[in-house]
Structure 1
Amino acid sequence: MSEEPKNSRVPSARERRVGTQIRRDVMQLILDRRLPPGAPLPTEAELMESLGVSRNSVREALKALQALDIVEIRHGYGTYVGQASLTPLIDGLTFRTLAQVSDDHAALGEILQVREVLEEGLIRRVAGGLADAELAQLESIVGRMEEAARSGESFPDLDREFHETLYETLGNALVPQLLAAFWSVFHRVAGVRGWDRDPAPKVTAQRHRDILTALRARDVAGAQAAMTDHFRGIEARAGQATLGVK
């Protein structure tokens, strides 16, 4: 009978609580000192002394924080404040969706529903106040969508550009990050499942044209309704892809 690997021991409840507290202490240190992304953290020895814990406990806590992109461990150089990006969220949501092997379409629909609710609220904030220059940018993107659609080509990059451009005027740095997160999850899952080609590019282009038409008319309710129709279309086409319908 083979021996268990030395590192296979499951941490006790007390060890998990201690680890959680150390992670919180390190995060609080970053906040208290107002350390920006890229700033160096105290050394392991300094953290051991200030937190009153072992070197191994510090290392385990830093590894866990690195997985969350809160710290960055540069071997041979030290530990630095991370970017606190949404990458861990993207990875977690992608895994969660792919793990729903019994119903791919329903799992992907949950991601789309969250993004739909987010964008229906966001478009109400921008629909009445886009400047001519911003509308011209959106017109250019939709025009390129329509050109691609006439050739039967999908245009995921243009689709993403349209939505990012639409909300730039909000000046909210979190909005594009959240949209990009849900976008990345959707397309990662679609790529893995082989649904990465839009079966109806002309319909997708028309949905964006409808949104833009409402925006030009300063029609807030119409823009929101057009956005809802757009997401209903995505859900329908995702369902077609799941069933193998072309």
Structure 2
Amino acid sequence: MSEDVQARIKQLILDRGLTSGDPLPTETELVAMLDVSRNSVREALKALQAMRIVEIRHGFGTYVGALSLEPFVEGVAFRAAVRHHQGEPSLYELMEVREALEAGLIGTVARGLPAEDLAVLRALVQRMAEEARGGEVLSATDRAFHLALYRSLGNHLLSEVLDAFWAALRRVRDDLADVRPDPEVTYRQHAEIVDALEAGDGERAVAAMHRHFDGIRRRLTA
């Protein structure tokens, strides 16, 4: 019953053209509209909240949620962590998926990277250089770099998926002290990617991206 009610609430969101932050009918109204029990509505809303499809604000009502990929990230990261502790190459598999996505796209980016995006990437590489001298390239800087790389493609879902795999891999790697990157190498590898993009050289950019992942691959297989 709960899954059916979930589907009907999602259809209601679509039919009414609602988006993140918009209010949904009250619990009482949903009971009447869907002709189901109050418990069925509550169970469905709790399940949809876990998926970030709705947000329940106690004392205020229910709203369309952030519609983020966070539940996907949590699921992928936990799956990888469990399998890693069972001796399976789950981190390696996560890395391969992310590498396939990024190396497959970077050549396209190289053919039409706007000057303002190149400037953002240059600034982030400079920040990496400064952080490397301090002993660690911050994960926030690395994340911002990889998000900025594909902004010019104008595909929001693509950016979210890439960021989801970045976050999942980082989340599991952060639990493992033996896979920390050399900050100077991290800086140089990102600088090589930007140099290739500035030259508009797609093949060189793809090769630089693969070298970047080769470093991750070596740490994961060591």
One fold, TM greater than 0.5?
yes
Other-structure match for 1:173: 156
Other-structure match for 1:13: none
Letter in 1 for 2:131: A
Cα deviation, residue 196, structure 1: 6.7
1:12-50 deviations in Å (ceiling 9; x for gaps): xxxxxx221111000000000011211111122221222
Alpha-carbon distance in 1 for matches of 2:127, 2:61? 47
User: What's the Cα RMSD here?
Assistant: 1.9
1:152-196 deviations in Å (ceiling 9; x for gaps): 433333222221221121222223322222222122212223357
Q: Is the 8 A contact 1:154 1:197 kept in 2?
A: no
Letter in 2 for 1:77: F
Q: Is the 8 A contact 2:193 2:208 kept in 1?
A: yes
Letter in 1 for 2:112: G
TM-score (norm 2): 0.90
Gaps of 5+ in 1: 1-17, 241-246
**SS of 1:192's equivalent?**
coil
Other-structure match for 1:39: 22
Alpha-carbon distance in 2 for matches of 1:141, 1:82? 31
Alpha-carbon distance in 2 for matches of 1:141, 1:47? 48
- Is 1:102 matched with 2:102? no
Alpha-carbon distance in 2 for matches of 1:195, 1:41? 47
Cα gap change, 1:133/1:79 in structure 2, threshold over 3 Å: closer, same or farther?
closer
Other-structure match for 2:211: 229
Cα gap change, 1:40/1:236 in structure 2, threshold over 3 Å: closer, same or farther?
same
Gaps of 5+ in 2: none
TM-score (norm 1): 0.82
Cα deviation, residue 150, structure 1: 4.2
> Which of these two proteins has the greater Rg computed from alpha carbons?
1
Alpha-carbon distance in 2 for matches of 1:165, 1:44? 41
For CA contacts below 8 A with separation 6 or more, give which structure has more relative contact order. Answer: 2
The equivalences for 1:35-114 within 5 A come to 35-100=18-83, 101-103=85-87, 106-114=89-97
Cα deviation, residue 222, structure 1: 1.5
